[in-house]
Structure 1
Amino acid sequence: MGRSCDFLFALAILMLLHHHTSLATVPTISTDEAALLVLKSHISSDPNNILARNWSSSAQCSWIGITCNSRRNRVTALDISSMQLHGTIPPHLGNLSFLVSLNINNNTFRGDLLEELAHLQRLKSIDVTGNNFTGAILLSLSLLPNFR
């Protein structure tokens, strides 16, 4: 009887540890901040220094172009349209799990639109016109439940 109790106790501890480490991977506002800072690092030219001046503190919900959900304090909209930005879109944008609207039109982003954008289950609208993207339009975006 003692061995089975020890085994059950050890199993319970392992399950608690697994549950605890799983909680550590839940996306948070820090995840959003990290994704936005990676985007900033992929911008090779910001001639008006808009992001350079504004995207530096840890209060990302007050950054230019960012809208957050007031209840959860998560990024729901990213609008950096017409800022004359040059660069690429990193896959980390797929970590903005509360993103509803993405507007990066009228800049000079290049490269492919990334498959990671199709992971944004809350995404309703995206505007990427006026950039230099190559490759196919992501058909997987049309599978998003709220996408217009």
Structure 2
Amino acid sequence: MAGQQNTAVSDPFESTYESVEGTQIKMITENTQVVITLNGSRAAADLAAMLPLEMTLIERNSFAKGMTLPEHLSSAEATTREYEIGDFGYWSAGPDLAIFYDDIYEQTIVDVIPLGHAETGAETMANERGTVRLEFVSEEGDSTENE
């Protein structure tokens, strides 16, 4: 249309993305493995696009294990400070991931974007140290080796 200018600014967070809701990933350490089911958030889709990843575990106040990502995920998401054992979330200021293995606190001290949940096994992360690997769970139940 002649004479009209498009003044809309492109917002990268408004672009469409493919939901990964229900996708399962494995968190693997030397001694344990936890299966996490991702939610349908943009941040979860961003994380899935980065997999597989290897990171160093960081103890977070005796209730969560953190991992620093190589780059930021989408932060245009609802945040919360409430958590349950097994919750898996993202702290954008890190940019860090966290899996909560104990419920000794009423809530976190930072806002976290929920990414998913582990139904079982999160408690086994309490004594884990060193390197952690995040990768997809294949349809056969084995991890994928595609890097």
Q: Please give the TM-score of this superposition, normalised by the length of structure 2.
A: 0.26
Greater percentage in strand: 2
Which structure's relative contact order is higher, taking Cα pairs within 8 Å and 6+ residues apart? 2
Structure number with the higher helix fraction is 1
| Structure number, greater radius of gyration | 1
